[in-house]
Amino acid sequence: MAFWLLKSEPEVYSFQQLEKEGTTPWTGIRNHQAKLNLLAMRPGDLCLYYHSREGKEIVGTATVQTPPYPDPTAEAGSPWVCVDITAQGPLAQPVTLQQIKEDVVLQTMPLVRHTRLSVMPITAEQFNRVLQLGLARAI
């Protein structure tokens, strides 16, 4: 099983929206590196859901439902793909970009250096570290 981080601008498509819909096709990826990452996804893989710009924090987790398939929002014959993802659950406490930058385990995620990559692989250790930080409740 593999672990991923997905980025979305909450004003475009938020984690709350994903929770409401349950499952959604993760379409519209038009970057070749991100596409390669989508192609490596398999059903059952686990994803962290990051809100870029408004938020700048990891807010929840999702699971990959399908293998990669041609993105229906792309021109026929184009190389772009998508997968269906399902909301799993929100973090009790979002993990902020600042926390990520300060954490020895998390600061090596591509999110920090490759700020424009929207689908990126992470390690099991990083996934678990975010869950651990996300369990802490704010006072």
Q: What is the footprint of DNA within residues 115-134 (CB under 7 A)?
A: 115-118
Please report how close the Cβ of residue 13 comes to DNA at its closest, in angstroms: 11
Q: What is the footprint of DNA within residues 28-47 (CB under 7 A)?
A: 30-33
Of the pair 1, 12, the CB lying nearest DNA is at: 12
Q: What is the footprint of DNA within residues 52-111 (CB under 7 A)?
A: 52-53, 56, 97-98, 101, 111
Tokens of residue 24, six digits: 């959604």
Q: Which residues contribute to the site for DNA (CB under 7 A)?
A: 7, 9, 30-33, 52-53, 56, 97-98, 101, 111, 113-118
